[in-house]
């Protein structure tokens, strides 16, 4: 059990059947009346952020969110299979749980799997990945007065904007959080 008076940034707890994480907290002691804890918290499953005030003696269940690094194996319809490299256990994950940034993940890449009480609620791909450009228009000289870009299709099927000098077959580094081209891969 944890009380609202023990809240710190990053603490996870269960409230009304939901798993919440403290983003910000402030202990308030007004001149009149009882003290309270003003809290900004995020629902770790849905991502919704709310602000609430609690009595410092309010009690909540601790919530332990498990983070496991697993290797993406393959997908079969709407199920994506991940393997724990230590135990070799496979975990099927429904496509509805995967975020938009999963389009940058290819087979055998390691991802972080977040679960609560054995139920997976989030899959986080690596922040930076190296992928091959499979389709792009040829670059042309002369139109480089500004940061000119062109569309490119990557080996995972994702489409991003790349500089004009990038050619088909080159490996590039991509930021999966923003979906932006970073640099040529060495």
Give domain limits for the chain.
2-62, 65-124, 128-184
- CATH architecture type of domain 128-184: Beta Barrel (2.40)
pLDDT of residue 143: 57
Partners of 52 in the beta sheet? 39
Q: What percent of the chain has pLDDT over 90?
A: 41
Q: pLDDT tens digit string along 85-94?
A: 999 999 899 8
Query: Degrees (nearest 5) of the Cα angle 142, 147, 148?
Result: 55
pTM assigned to the model: 0.72
Q: What confidence tier does 181 reach under pLDDT thresholds 50, 70, 90?
A: very high
Q: pLDDT tens digit string along 5-53?
A: 889 888 889 988 888 889 899 998 988 888 999 999 988 877 789 999 9
Could you say which of 3.40.50.300, 2.40.50.140, 2.40.110.10, 3.40.30.10 is the CATH number of the domain covering 65-124?
Answer: 2.40.50.140
- Residue 106 CA from chain centroid, whole number: 16
Cα torsion at 104, 107, 110, 115 (round to 10°)? 90
The mean pLDDT value for 115-125 works out to: 85
Mean pLDDT, the chain, rounded, equals 88
In angstroms, the CA 6 to CA 86 distance is 35
Q: Which one-letter DSSP state was computed for residue 117?
A: T
In angstroms, the CA 116 to CA 120 distance is 7
* Same topology between domain 65-124 and domain 128-184: yes
CB 83 within 8 A of CB 71: yes
CATH dotted code for 2-62: 2.30.30.30
């Amino acid at each position: 059990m944890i009380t609202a008076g023990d809240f710190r940034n990053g603490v996870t707890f269960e409230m009304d059947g939901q798993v919440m994480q403290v983003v910000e907290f402030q202990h308030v002691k007004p001149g009149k009346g009882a003290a309270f804890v003003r809290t900004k918290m995020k629902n770790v499953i849905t991502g919704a952020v709310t602000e609430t005030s609690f009595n410092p003696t309010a009690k909540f269940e601790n919530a332990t969110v498990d983070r496991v690094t697993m290797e993406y194996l393959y997908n079969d319809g709407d199920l994506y299979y991940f393997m724990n490299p230590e135990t070799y256990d496979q975990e099927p994950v429904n496509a509805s749980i995967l975020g938009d940034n999963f389009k940058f993940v290819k087979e055998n890449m390691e991802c972080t799997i977040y679960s609560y009480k054995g139920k997976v609620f989030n899959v986080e791909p690596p922040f930076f990945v190296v992928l091959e450009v499979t389709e792009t228009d040829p670059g042309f000289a002369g139109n480089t007065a500004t940061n000119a870009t062109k569309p490119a299709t990557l080996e995972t099927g994702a489409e991003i904007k790349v500089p004009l000098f990038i050619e088909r077959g080159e490996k590039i580094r991509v930021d999966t959080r923003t979906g932006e081209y970073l640099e040529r891969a060495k």
